Each structure stands twice: as structure tokens, then as C-alpha cells.
Chain A
């Protein structure tokens, strides 16, 4: 037994040897993208598949090495790296990093190409490259009839490279490179079949909506930069001491790594709460600079709310979720990889990464939790009435992301991250299953026109069933444990002065659980059970090739075994046991806990869910599923042919039309902007400025010239007459002056 433990705790490549190669994890997919994109046409299909898949496989192997290295404890010495912002004895444990030097610097600002892998980014590396590889494999079969295969794999590799940059970045600006990079790749992939105008529009909609989020992200970043400089100006020795650093070290860190490095921000977060005194606390007003007059706490709340808007763009939360359902226009593997497993979870990752800053502001946390809960509920309700299998899954993604946001907002970061991981497995499985269904049924996506597939697509059916049970939250599957971990934390964590949020969000969570069970059961029942619909495109569906079923099986397997993470097997420091994943992430989340303890902004709960909690959640899920089963197996089949009440039709139509949110945005936002642009162009630019002012000047000059030209008649008599008149006038004037 000890031998096994020793094996797993000794990285095959020692961390200090491996860390300079971290960049390779990003470079491999980038190289793959370059080769496929530039030479793909000449390489041919098989070579492109080989290049693209091996690039991701290589990145996966390297990620595995990196992950292993972050848990290295060879010879009893835990892997650690020096913290550039802390004192010499202050090291970051369970993390490896490498700094490739300056990206750009101006004034006292600088950004480095710094990569960091700790347990949080390590597990995400595995998810991205692991699920990414399976989806690449799946795509080799799914895209076998498409001429743009080389473009597809180039974009897909590009996406993986950007996503890896996002999770490995050790500062906000480099993270933003990945953040926008995945948005760009997503734009290209949604609009992959660009000859269909609607699909290309969907890509643009996704990019522009994301840009609204990025707008907030950028402003949030700038506010953080300002806060760091204000903090550094006002803090005294005690503040630095609380955070385990000193002014000299902190300033050295700033000048070496720049102000937006996560480790530096963490130090500021540790020093801000009123712990052991010090010149700076959350209530301290900022003295100088552009933010003067605001308190540190107020600025932090504003910053976090801006990041919430940024994360809402990427992770499809209210009010910016509208792009995600449309993004289903892309090929199905893309939906699985980008719009379910990886990119859309970037917002959750961002908040986990900045957890120590987030816990400074209970207001922002409550907002995040409530936004998450409302989004989740709304999306679940819309999913009730969607008939497109991919659309249902898209709304279910929005809904599940809402659950993760609830967890992040209430401070159960580890559970949100765990749900991110399990969700990546079962949702990717669901999407790939849907893709397999489409592939075998002539690209039919309407669940009303499918049915009875369980006989014809056995593997797809089995894996779809497993992942449906996982997302619904049926007991031995990972989804049950991760979702319940989130809800338990949501229920028992309390935000300072905002206690009501816990109860509200928990109650909403139970409703969402029931809804999820309902619509997922509906999709499963309509697609796979019953009889084959007479409207089906092809008479008999065919099972997909092994390239497609193998990833399905692996993902279904993973969505079962990841439940281990949620089991309370590890000893807790204060006695008792804690879930494996909480223990696993504790090196990353410890600063956040420390901040929450001293700032007293959120009371973090450490109890394990009781049996009753499990029972309630399970019953709720079962009731949702049972309702769906009753309705779609018994009730509706019996109602066929009978008239539907007007009320029911209206409800269904509203839900089907997504509560008219898109139309609302069109009406209150897009049309006014277009109208203002048009009016400004026609009236201000073309009429007022160009015609009246510019051409007007020319016109007046010309007319004056014309007028004066009439005086130049060349007639000596006329000149003489004018001269005489002028002299006469002058004489009269002089006379009048003299007389008066």
C-alpha cells in the first residue's frame, strides 16, 4: 500500500525539471492548429486527423505530467514554489510555475508570460485535454463527410490552445488572452458552416455578446490595477505582515511580475480585512488617485460585480446567456467541447481563481448566487418546451452553469469546481450522444421525430441513459454528489448581513433539481423509448463507428467514477473527514478561507451532508423524473387528438419562444443602437457637420466671391461714381461731426 502511495507521490519528471516545459502544453495544440490550418488542404484527411489528435494527445500527456508534478512529494518534501510577493519562507505548496519573461511593459505596468499549475488548474488541464482528445477522436468520424475538415481541426486545436492559456495563466491579462481566444475560436466554430447565413450570424451574436462581458472584464481589471496601487501607497507594515509579506517584497513582486498577478492580488486580499490592525481595511477610503473617496471594500464590490458581468458573458448567465442556445448552430462536437465542457465554465474558473478577492464582498457574492439561481431556473423552464435535442442540452448547460454560479456565490468553491468537472464529463457525453443520434438519423434534431432508438443505437442509448441519470442526480452517479455538495454548501454558508440569500437560493435549487429531472427525462424518453416516429427522416437509425462510441463509453464511465471526489475520505484538520475534492483543492482555496475568517464576510460551513439532505434531494429529483415519465408515457399519448386548452397552448408557446427574451433585447437594445447610429449618420454627420458646416462654409465663400465679382465690372465710370459717392459720404459725415 505504501508503495502505491509512494508511486503516486513521486512525479516521473521532477517538478523543477518539468516546469520550464509548461509552455509546451499550449504550444502543441497551437502548432497543430497552424499545421492543419495552413497545410491541411495538402496533407489530406488522415494526416490532419493524425496531427490534430496527436497534438491534443501530447498536450494530455504533458498535462498529466504537470498534474502529477503538482502532487509531488518525493522524499517527504512537498513540491513548492517561491511566492514572488511573499517573504522567503512563504512558499506556495502543491504548485509549479514558470515565467517566460515580459510580454509587455509600460510605465510601472508589466505583464509576463507566466504560467502556473496548481491543483485547480491541474484538474482543469486534465479535463480540457482529456475530454478534448475524446472529442477530437469523435470528430474524426463525425466530420468524415465534410470538406472543411482541415479548417475544423485547425479551429478546434486553436480553441484548446486558448483554453489552456486561460487556465494556466498566472495573471489576469494573460488569462484574458485565453478568455478572448476561446471566444474567437468559438466564433469561428459556431459559424463553421458559414454558407448558412443564420449560422454565421449565431457566431457573430456569440462574439458580440461575449464582448459586452469583456467590456466589463476590462474595466474590472483596470479597477483592480488602481486598487493595487492605492493599497501599496496606503498600507503600513502591519498590513503587509498579516499577509505574510513586507513592503519591500511586495513592491519587488509588483515590479517583477506586474500588478495583476493572482498571487499578488491574493496578498492584497489577505491584507485588506480588519484582522490585526493596520492602516488599510475594507472601510478605509482611498486617499489619492482616480478612485479617491471610495472605500477599498466598495471598489472591491464594484470590481467583482464587473467581473460577474464578464463571467456572465462567457458562462452564459443572465443577462448575457442568449448567445449559447444559438451557438448550437456549430457542429455537435463543438457544442460538446466548447459550449458544455470547457469554455463556458471559464467564469466559474475565474471566480475560483480569484476566490480570495471575491470573499471580500458579500454583496457581490450574493449577487452572483442570485444571478446563478435565476438563470438556472429560467433556463430550466425554457428547456421544458424545446423540441430540438441540442437546444434542450444547451439550456440545460445554462442551467447547470447557474448551479455552479450559486456555489461560487455562496463560497463553496470546491463544490462548484467539482460540479464543473463532473458536468464536463456527463454533458460532453450527452452532447456527443446527441451528435451520434443526429449522425445515425440523417441530422434530425427534433425529438418529436425520433423515438425508439434504444434498439437501434445500443451504445448511444446506454451512455445517454447513464449521463441523463448523472445530470438528473440519481444516487450512485457523480452528478448527484457534486450537485448536492453545492446545494449543501449553499444551504449552510451564510453571507454577512445577507442570511436570507442562503435559504432563497437553496429553495430555488430544489425547484431547479425537479425541473432538470423533468426535462432531461423528457428528452431521454422521447428520443430513445417508445416507438419510432412516423416522421423520422430515415427508416432505421444506424449505430455510429467506434471513433464515436468509444468516447461515449469513456465519458459515461467517467461520469460515474468522478463520484469518488465527493466522498468524505480525507481527514479534516480539525477532526472528522472531508470530501476528497475539498481536500484536494484546499491549497488553492486556503487564502480565501483565511480572508473569509478574518473579514467575517461569509461564514463557511464544514459539515458533511446528512442522510436527510441526500434523501430530500433524491426525492425531488425522482419526483421530477416521475412527472415527466407519467406525462410523456401515459398522459400525452392518451390526449392525442383531443383539443388542447388555450391556456396550455399559450404557456407552451411562451416557453417555446424562450419567454421572448431575444425579442426584448432586440427591442430595447439592438434597434435603438442601430437607430441612433442611423440618425447620427444622416442628421449629425451628413447634414449638420458635412452639409451645413463644411459645405456651408464653402458655399458662403463662393457666394461672397460671386457677389463681390459683380463690383469688378471694369467700367471706369462706375468706379468713378462709387469713388465720388464715397467721398461725398465722408464729407457729409465729417460735416455732421463738426456741426454736432
Chain B
């Protein structure tokens, strides 16, 4: 057992924090050093993250690279890390964006540089921590901690209206997650007798599983059959929907689903380029990840009841988000609303509860991180040059910035899901999963409308910004991308092609997780084929006892007794 067998995830998570400490020690006037150290830290983290991604064995256990030590045992907590296929994929996305975000901010951020990079590094740690947490309370801590650096990023380094946007973002997401905290604590108390309770995801899920199965059996039975339930099943019957609602609201705000999406355009518009990239790239996925990991598997019956409602919201999100884009004048706002539309696909894929839909949803999460992240990045370059977000202030840029235009158009094609780019695989699988699911055909048909509208708004924006004659004198001498900017953009373009043409290595890592997600979500579906128990139960490493943890330092026998 080498160090990395047990500690790889810890390394990935806390490496940015270590570099944050290094940055903290630098004098704040040493801008170059601050940037370099942060970049090196992110790059090193990328190396370890990629290593973790390749270590993940698709055919192996559900959760891998686990690490668990006792922590606040009085509260039923432990420090427990582990990743499944989805988490490790999102982890890869996070560490991939890390160094690029630093590069993107090199000239964008001009004041309080040290603080900015500190916030960036801390944010990275909290996001990675939330993805790898196997303890619900630990997840909650990271989930909330994420807000603080992001709040600062929007509030300090944002555009003209930054304070309003930052406060709105913070309060909006906090409202949801506080309700979730209540639900987490309530769940802890109902999940078992004193002594068997735990905040650990595995224990919590397995404790609820039997009750959920009973509840599903009676819910599909005759009217009133559930009145005779006892114990945990009865509690879940009464309070499960409320707890699900609390979880769902917290995550729905984060996604964001319609109609709790209005914090997103403001936050995106005001955030600096790094903030927008991380927000779109990773933080929104925390919402879908939460649905996938917590809200739906823990409350399959309530989720099943709410499924049509949530699916309607997802489809509204797809079409409504796209229509919003058509009404925008502000480029960043347009990209933000396109996120609402794309995340609608992710949610629809999850709610379809078919392996195609869930796989597509997971893949779409990665795609959205790549393509929307790149759109914000590229627009950031343009914003640095002109300091305006209005489409009408551009026009004919292609003539003066050909390389930039080429990059932007390629990413646009990825965003509108042209086959051969990454976007197509995700969107196709989501739509097919929706058609195959038990949702009525209309859901799939309406969602497919997004295909038309997506092309309409994205190409409209490209047209307005890049094509035609140059309408403003200020745009005549814009310089094209420099080497740094090209290097920052290149990884995105490579990924667009690689993920579009060779998606299978990525999908292979997602497949076992999607199968388990579908099995667990189908617990609540009446008449669905019940999966085998090994698909349902969460197998995690048990908590090493204090004695075992301490054993290596204790001699096997008194020294005096040795021969």
C-alpha cells in the first residue's frame, strides 16, 4: 500500500490549499510570482487529477480511492472520501479548468491580485472536496464553503453592478441549502435507532433502502395501502416528500432550473471571466450532481411522484432558456441563458431514468463545462479589449480577429451540438433516453425543439458580433489572440473534437455509475424491473476502528517479552 493508494484524493483536494498557503506568504506586490505559483499549483493538481481519473477502474467497486478516518464520531460523522464514475469525471473537469482559469485571468484581473488567486485556490479545494465527499455533512460543508470564494470573486472583481449580483447569488443559493441542512439533520434522526445513525452516505442510503422498497410496493398498490406502514417507512411516507422538496430546492437553485434561475444571468454577467468559467463549468453541475447522488436515490418514491413536475420544469427550462437568448442584447447574458437551456437537458436526462438518458445527462454535464466554459473564456478576451458586453457594439470582428473568430465558431458548433463535436453525443443520448423513458412522447418532442432554437440564437449572436462590415471605429484595430490566449483556448478545442469523436473512454467510466443511478432511482417506479441488490446497496469501506487506525504505532507485544 503506497501513500497514493489511500491518499490520492486528499492530495487532489488539498493541493490547491497548500499552494494557497504558499501564495499567502508572498508579498502582495509580487504579481508575477503569485500568478506563477497559482498556475503551477493548478497544473500539479491537474496531473494528480488525471492520475486519479486513470486509476479509476470502470469494472471495479462503485466507490474507489476511498479514504475514511473517524471524525466527530459523537455526531455520527466520519471523514470519508471516495469517487464513483460521475464524481471522478466531474473531478477531471474541475482540475482541467483550474490552470486555464488562471491563464485566462492573467491580464483580466488587475487589482487585489493576491487575494484573487487565493480565492481561486480555495474555491478549487472546496469544489473538489464536495465532489469527493462520501459523508453527507462533509458534502454540505464543502457545498456551502464554495459560496464564499465565489461570492468574493463576483463581489470584488466583478463588473459595474457586482455587489447586487454577489448578494443575490449568495442569498439565493443559501436559502435553498439551509433548507437542505434541515432535511439532512432530519434524515439523520429518522434513519435509525440511536447508535446506528450516521451521516455517512452508504449507511444512510442502506438504512433507507428497505423502507423505500416497502413504500414503493404500497404506493403502487391500492389506495390507502400505505396507511398500514410502520416504522421508518411510515415516517418516509409522511415526511419523505418534504425532505425531498428541501433537497430538490437546494439543488434546483444551483442547477438552475426554471423558475429559480434568475440569479444566474446576474451572477454570470457581473462575474469576472474566471468566475463565469468556474460557475458555468463546475458549480452548476453541483446541482445536477446533488440530484444524482442525494435527492433522487435517497427519496426514490417522492422523486417518482415529483418526476412529471420536475420534467416539465426541465423542458420549460430548455425551451424558455433558448427563447430568452433570442431576446438578449448582452452577450454574457445570452451565454448565461444558454446555460439554463443546456442544464435543462441534463435534468431531463436524469429524470428520464433510463441508462441512455442518465449517461447523456452526465456527458452533457462535462460538455457544458467545456463548451460554455470556453465561450465565457473567449468572450472574456473580447471584453478585455473593448469593455462592452452589448452585441451592437461589435460587428465585423472576423475581419480583424480571424483566429479568435475561428475558435469562437468551433466552440459555437460544439454548443449547438453539431455531430462530431462533444455536444452532440450528450444531447442525442439525453433525447433518446427521454423518448425511451416512461415520460410521454411530448417531453422528448418539446425538448428536441431546443435543437432548432439553439442554432437560431447562437448563430444570431455569431452573426451580430463577427460578420458584416465593421460598424464601430473602435473595433478597427482590435488585435487578434496572442500566444497565451491561444494556448488557453487550444485545450478546449482539442477536447471538443476528442470528446465528440472518441467519447467511449469517458462513457466507460460513467457507465457503472449510470446503471446504479437508474437502478436506485427505479426503486420508486411502480412496476419497474427491480434491480439486483448489489446494484442498489451502497458498498463503502467501513470506518476503521480507533484501535486499528492506531495499530501501526503500537508494538505487537511488550518489548520486554520479545526474544
Residues of chain A having any CB pair with chain B under 8 Å = 102-109, 173, 176-177, 179-181, 184, 187, 191, 194-197, 200-201, 204, 207-208, 211-212, 214-215, 218-219, 222-223, 225-226, 229, 289-291, 673-674, 676-678, 680-682, 685, 689-690, 693-694, 698
Contact = CB atoms under 8 A, between A and B. Distances in A.
A215 B451 contact: yes
B438 interface: yes
A121 to B, nearest CB: 19
A176 B467 contact: no
B507 A201 contact: no
- Among A191, A200, A680, A698, residue most surrounded by chain B Cβ atoms (within 10 Å): A200
Given A105-B507, A177-B419, A208-B455, A685 B468 contact: no
A215 B451 CA distance: 6
Given A106-B429, A181-B420, A677-B324, A290 B467 contact: no
B interface, over-half SS: helix
A interface, over-half SS: helix
A677 B326 CA distance: 6
B399 interface: yes
A290 B511 contact: no
Given A194-B466, A218-B431, A685-B324, A290 B441 contact: yes
B507 A104 contact: yes
Nearest to A174: B419
Given A177-B420, A680-B324, A694-B172, 18 more contacts: A180-B420, A184-B418, A194-B468, A195-B398, A195-B469, A200-B468, A207-B455, A215-B449, A215-B451, A218-B448, A219-B444, A222-B436, A225-B436, A289-B436, A290-B441, A680-B327, A681-B323, A694-B168
B323 A680 contact: yes
19 contacts: A103-B501, A103-B504, A105-B504, A107-B356, A108-B355, A173-B419, A180-B424, A184-B418, A194-B398, A197-B467, A200-B468, A207-B455, A219-B445, A222-B432, A290-B438, A290-B440, A677-B324, A680-B327, A685-B262
B261 to A, nearest CB: 8
A219 B425 CA distance: 15
Given A106-B356, A680-B320, A208 B459 contact: yes
Contact of A689 (B262, B398, B449): B262
A187 B456 CA distance: 13
Interface string B438-469: 11110011001101100110011001001111
A293 B203 CA distance: 43
A291 B440 CA distance: 9
A179 B448 CA distance: 17
B367 to A, nearest CB: 13
A107 B354 contact: yes
Contacts of B19: none
A191 B259 CA distance: 37
Report the 5 A-B pairs with minimum CB-CB distance, sorted nearest first: A107-B355, A197-B468, A200-B467, A681-B327, A106-B359
Nearest to B466: A194
Contacts of B420: 177, 180-181
A211 B441 CA distance: 20
Contacts of B355: 106-108
A102 B328 CA distance: 40
A109 B419 contact: no
Interface in B358-380: 359-360
A674 B437 contact: no
A693 B253 CA distance: 14
Contact of A222 (B259, B425, B431): B431
Given A106-B514, A685-B262, A689-B259, A204 B459 contact: yes
B79 interface: no
Contacts of A219: 435, 444-445, 448
B354 A222 contact: no
Contacts of B419: 173, 176-177, 179-181
A108 B518 CA distance: 13
B413 interface: yes
Given A103-B503, A200-B463, A211 B452 contact: yes
Contact of A211 (B354, B399, B455, B463): B455
Given A177-B420, A195-B399, A681-B327, A207 B459 contact: yes
B435 A222 contact: yes
A180 to B, nearest CB: 5
Contacts of A103: 501, 503-504
